[in-house]
Amino acid sequence: KPKPKTTTQAPEEPEEPEGPEEPEGPEGPEEPEGPEGPEEPEGPEEPEGPAGPEEPEGPEEPRDDDDVKPAPKTTTAAPEEPEDPEEPEEPEDPEEPEEPEESEEPEEPEESEEPEEPEESEEL
């Protein structure tokens, strides 16, 4: 039996004549856009919470500006003017001791006539 010829070329199909182009119908009337709805009012701005209490800075140590000399700045760059090594960095003020040894009002009274916290309070 003779083998059927296999061709890589696609068989030419007869072109179907396209029908007459259908004219597009007339465009309908442009739909008018509806009236814009009322602008939605933005919600009330949320007030920021109250600012927390400002942390108080620690008590400033009393200093006599006349006596206290600033400590020499330590920089990696070579200092232009070397500080005088004879000058003490921070002279202590003998007039105002930082920690008073004897206070006029004792913080913890040793013996008090009326104890603030009674020891016998086991019942809740």
Indicate whether this model's pTM tops 0.75: no
For residue range 36-78, what is the model confidence (pLDDT) as tens digits? 777 776 777 776 777 777 776 766 666 666 665 666 666 566 6
Calculate ∠ Cα 16-17-22, nearest 5°: 125
pLDDT at site 6:
65
pLDDT of residue 97 exceeding 60: no
5-11 long-range contacts (CB < 8 A, ≥24 apart) are none
CA 78, CA 85: separation in Å to the nearest integer? 16
Residue 63, CA distances (Å) to 10, 48, 117 in order:
104, 40, 39
pLDDT at site 99:
60
